[in-house]
Chains A and B, each alone.
Chain A
């Protein structure tokens, strides 16, 4: 028991863990040559046990056996580091003061926490925050708020730990950063929003999740939508959605599919094994292909091969291939091909699409964004982009918001706990693609950066002045 505790108390463990993390980061970087960033993240960083492919360390032209080595994953190393850090500090950085000084120190500590929480949850920032003039001040102010929190904490540490204040503060900052990143890994959500010029959109696409959406279009006044999450779309599963007169049998879930091509372009040999589909699959060829790799920015195009049944009669409605390629927001509105089926008297348009979420502000009121204008500026005489900008109208009738704003590179809009970034554009600059991120811990890096900076600087200045003093002494 004692031995175990001692081990956690040692700097040796720190060094070992840091060294392990270097190996992991290095392997995870090399792995991105072949794999998509999200796959690498799950396989190496956001896991307890990582499985490192041996071949990543060698040139791909060499024939390396496909061996996977178990290795401590990002979460395991991270948590061990946190435990190690806390224990080392517990053991070797005891509070050395008492009385009024201790009370004052604790009061400052609480004040620091208060400032931090305030900064994190929007103290000093506007509810609708877009850059109106100088981008530079916005970031500067944020770092400034971080510095304020850091200074309050530093005073607390100085009161409580005297000479070791800088050391304690900087490690506290690291701890905060690790926790923040852990929270981001668990809770941050990334989505996209595609808007054509003149269009108003009130939903976002969760590009990491998919759903099968059945929209009943027989009623002229309203549509009824039923969705099936991709988590249910397992090979061989039979799904019986409650509000739908249809049973779905999943033949195969395809992680990455090819761009659909007319069957006439496909060599005969491939077609013999191609299933007999109804719908678009009867004219277009959709096949499985290897997963995309990380460095290119390409993404997987999932597809699902299903057979649909009329639940009432048990008759087959046909076998369909539903690819995300048929969903307009997958590739810049290039394709829009719903699969139409008829069950009894009801008509359905079926999409395999990104999970859709209708956006609301914290008060529960829905809001929408209208794209007024999209600007794509190039440097004169080149094809090199100089600026992308979306001129938008943010409308939330319930909260009485109606504002014209500009979103452009490095200058996002922050509204209703979401941040909207300029991310892409539609062909011929006819519309914009915004990246929409929901991450409540986004201020933590700003805070912890300044906390570590203040702590480290204080510590190094102290060491340096000690060195200089000793030097000048006889």
Chain B
């Protein structure tokens, strides 16, 4: 009875926790219809998405956040920020959205260091020429010749160029005088070679997505005098967006709303399919399931830690329920990504992180449900910490923009993504799970009296079991990767860094199992080896990617390199702790 009440309370708490922020702010009919605007389609980086996603991703790339604060300190949504900016509202220039954290770069641009490192476009303006010059010189160098400053300058310049290109693609050239049209037309043609948002969807008679500025330019009444034989084509969709922007800039709410409704109605009539999946994606964005699950997993971990150390079954039970409650939205969000992007769940580092977390939590739940007595909360501990940390990693990886990007030609094969990538990622996961149990083993043995003979034996068996799975999955995954390579360019094994990374995991797992079968290690030794497995896996997962960017400098240039080194050092510290003789272990004998 007590147990079901506590479980019910946990479930209610989780439901409340997840529904936060899903509902958009109330909008009366006379208010700006921002919510409707956020649902409009746009094609960017090859994928159709709602304005909401586009604005969030753009803002994340620039500032690492999905919202921005105005002068008064009020929170502005990404969509509103985008509208302010593309329509040319005066306050848009003052939003501090450019994150520049390198001090040398700041100095060279004449900016003061400040908390959170975010600067507005107005502040950047005097330094634009300096930035452009420095960026050109950095781009001119070979990768090896670039130093930390060059790389940081390029990073800032890329943000700036992206921002400028997006702004330019929403320009409204309708009122330009005739003499300027030629130059503008050339500039637009240049711009179309870059990745810019295409906001005019295909409609009857025009099968392509088009950017706003060129479409409006084509409708300019003076264009036929600039380009011979040009057919002045007025595009009603583009006109509506153009008027919407003007209305928004001038604060004409009624006009903005009516244009928006007409635009929506027109599109609904001409190409209703374009609205497919958009509302769902907005819902997915607002749910923000991954970050919320991450918070709950942390809570699960903390609760379970107490429950495990002090053998409180009630606490462990509640934590288990909470883990399942956080796992359901986590699962839902992964399925949603598959549905939205049309690709299998793992396509890039970001999605590998959320998938590894998901699988680790699933493993935790399975351990708990299948071996509840023996696991005694170990599944909670592993699932909680693994779920939290991988989702946190994913959060930091999301700064590159759209996490549901389209795949380059050679990677664009759903079969191999679904088989090789999933298996090898599960292999990473199993190795990490085994390593995490190893860490608990060492800590619990060294610092607490919790690690009695029975617990030792149980934890050992769990490690061996997961290592067996890790070996199976990483072997099959690696070989499937080789088969993919054979299918793509005829080389099963090319000693490519990423292949080698996966091979190292396979060999390490094989070493662990052989050492155990040959009785070269007992429980403690196996735990130490399992922790070392974390290093091997982290190297394969992230280290190999750093190789091409900055191994020759090892320079901590990329924050990922820095965190990788930190992670490896912590794992080495745990390994060393594991070597402390057992007579100094609290759970010693």
Contacts and interface: CB of A to CB of B under 8 A. Distances in A.
Interface stretch (B217-225, B276-284, B350-358, B548-556): B548-556
Nearest to B484: A410
Given A22-B507, A37-B495, A409-B409, A139 B487 contact: yes
Interface in B45-79: 45-47
B461 interface: yes
A40 B475 CA distance: 24
Contact of B500 (A28, A379, A449): A28
A449 B507 contact: no
A384 B500 contact: no
A11 B518 CA distance: 6
B520 A15 contact: yes
Interface string A30-60: 1011100100110001000000000000111
Interface in A118-154: 135-136, 139-140
Nearest to B373: A471
B508 A384 contact: no
Contact of A449 (B46, B195, B476): B476
Interface stretch (B99-107, B312-320, B411-419): B411-419
Contacts of B193: 383
A379 B406 contact: yes
B472 interface: yes
Contacts of B408: 384-385
Best-surrounded residue of A32, A381, A410 (most CB of chain B within 10 A): A381
Interface in A4-45: 10-12, 14-15, 18-19, 21-22, 25-26, 28-30, 32-34, 37, 40-41, 45
Interface stretch (A197-205, A219-227, A327-335, A453-461): A453-461
A435 interface: yes
Contacts of A161: none
Given A14-B518, A379-B46, A384 B507 contact: no
A295 B492 CA distance: 18
Contacts of B475: 452-453, 456
Given A383-B193, A383-B195, A421 B490 contact: yes
B517 interface: yes
A446 interface: yes
A440 interface: no
**Which secondary structure dominates chain A's binding surface?**
helix
Given A59-B553, A181-B493, A386-B409, A381 B511 contact: no
Interface stretch (B179-187, B263-271, B463-471): B463-471
Contacts of B291: none
Given A37-B494, A409-B409, A410-B410, A19 B486 contact: no
A10 B552 CA distance: 40
Given A29-B497, A295-B547, A460-B468, A386 B491 contact: no
A383 B408 CA distance: 10
Interface in A423-440: 423, 435, 437, 439
A412 B409 contact: no
Given A19-B511, A135-B415, A190-B491, A388 B409 contact: yes
A419 interface: yes
Interface residues of A, number: 69
B487 A59 contact: no
A139 B483 contact: yes
A388 B412 CA distance: 11
Given A435-B489, A449-B480, A40 B551 contact: no
Contacts of B198: 380-381
Interface in B2-38: none
B532 to A, nearest CB: 11
A464 B465 contact: yes
Interface in B414-470: 414-416, 461, 465, 468-469
B547 A190 contact: no
B44 interface: yes
A382 B45 contact: yes
A387 interface: yes
A212 to B, nearest CB: 28
7 contacts: A60-B553, A184-B492, A380-B46, A385-B409, A442-B486, A442-B492, A445-B483
Given A59-B553, A381-B46, A386-B412, 11 more contacts: A25-B500, A59-B551, A60-B554, A181-B492, A379-B406, A419-B490, A421-B488, A435-B490, A445-B482, A448-B479, A449-B476
Q: Which 7 A-B pairs have the closest CB atoms?
A: A379-B46, A11-B518, A437-B490, A59-B554, A60-B552, A449-B479, A136-B415
Interface of B: 43-47, 193-198, 208-209, 211, 374, 406, 408-410, 412-416, 461, 465, 468-469, 471-472, 475-476, 479-480, 482-484, 486-497, 500-501, 503-504, 507-508, 510-511, 514-515, 517-518, 520, 544, 547-548, 551-555
